[in-house]
């Protein structure tokens, strides 16, 4: 959906809760003064959890980025995120593709003549009882998961990656910490593998969509995912299982047609691990 110069979308119940809390006034300005438990604050962007009308939400509020910061990012060939619009668009696109994410509640955008001063917000529902895959999987070396859960989880992550990339999108922060495992319904059944895992893909503010996804973007996403999983005790069989599910081919076909891609993925993961940890990973199954 194409958004206008100044746009606001509010769930009716959320609008009513705003009016009950603040009285008559401009809903955009009312949202901009909301506050709560801050999760992250960087580059003119603040993410926080808050309660309103007895319900819990997450807000990501953008208040602009200094020109110096914008130019520095551009000089590093990085695309600066100047507002909430990319995330709002990405949330709706993922929902259309059948990828779970944060359910949208509200969006607001106020543009002026200076893009560095643009203000915007996106508000989503709190997901309730969830755990990031980083939190879940880093326990695996000491507490191995149920085999069926492990297999189902790997295949679901591969399905999400395949669907995302098949639609021409790349996440740009595609790490285990940005998947949340839904534990709202029968946690024991999920962790035993009796119930299929439900994963929510989070932090969509840097998502890009292309007519045809560049190979380097796929390598960056999958390489980043692999990097974030290098310390969770994956086996070569786990990696091959992911590869088959992601490519939708047999292992023989995958290696014959896409061997170079997976070599680049491994190189990317190894490079990123050295950069982040100052040493090579202990093992690289792929």
Report, as residue numbers or ranges, the catalytic residues: 173
Residues 6+ positions from 211 with CB-CB distance below 8 Å: 168
- For residues 105 and 125, the answer to whether their CB atoms sit within 8 Å is yes
What span, in angstroms and rounded, lies between the C-alpha atoms of 200 and 136?
Answer: 14
Residue 90 is inside which H or E element, if any? helix 85-97
Q: Which of 4, 26, 106, 120 is nearest to 65 (CA)?
A: 120
Kind and range of the H or E element at 171?
none
* Bridging pattern class, strands 37-42 and 45-52: antiparallel
CA distance 276 to 227: 10
| 8 A C-beta contact, residue 121 and residue 61 | yes
Contacts of 28 (CB under 8 A, 6+ apart): 8, 108, 110
Token output for 233: 């005790």
Collect all residues with Cβ–Cβ distance below 8 Å to 259 and sequence separation of at least 6. Answer: none
> Which single residue is written with the structure tokens 């990828």?
99
């Amino acid at each position: 959906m194409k958004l206008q110069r100044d746009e606001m979308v509010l769930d009716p119940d959320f609008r009513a809760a705003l009016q009950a809390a603040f009285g008559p006034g401009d809903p955009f300005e009312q949202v901009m003064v909301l506050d709560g438990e801050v999760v992250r604050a960087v580059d003119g962007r603040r993410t926080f959890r808050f309660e309103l009308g007895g319900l819990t939400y997450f807000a990501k509020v953008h208040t602009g980025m200094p020109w110096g910061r914008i130019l520095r990012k551009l000089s590093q060939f990085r695309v600066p995120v100047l507002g909430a619009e990319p995330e709002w668009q990405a949330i709706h696109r993922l929902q259309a593709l059948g990828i779970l994410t944060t359910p949208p509640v509200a969006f607001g955008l106020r543009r002026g003549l200076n893009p560095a001063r643009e203000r915007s917000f996106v508000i989503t529902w709190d997901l309730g009882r969830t755990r990031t895959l980083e939190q879940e999987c880093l326990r695996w070396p000491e507490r191995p998961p149920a085999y069926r859960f492990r297999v189902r989880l790997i295949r679901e992550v591969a399905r999400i990656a395949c669907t995302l990339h098949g639609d021409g999108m790349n996440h740009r922060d595609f790490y285990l910490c940005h998947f949340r495992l839904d534990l709202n319904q029968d946690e024991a059944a999920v962790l035993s593998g009796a119930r299929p895992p439900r994963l929510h893909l989070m932090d969509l503010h840097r998502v890009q969509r292309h007519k045809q996804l560049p190979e380097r973007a796929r390598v960056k996403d999958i390489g980043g995912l692999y990097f974030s999983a290098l310390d969770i005790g994956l086996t070569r069989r786990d990696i091959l299982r992911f590869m088959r599910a992601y490519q939708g081919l047999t292992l023989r076909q995958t290696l014959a047609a896409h061997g170079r891609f997976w070599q680049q993925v491994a190189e990317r993961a190894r490079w990123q691990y050295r950069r982040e940890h100052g040493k090579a990973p202990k093992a690289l199954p792929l």
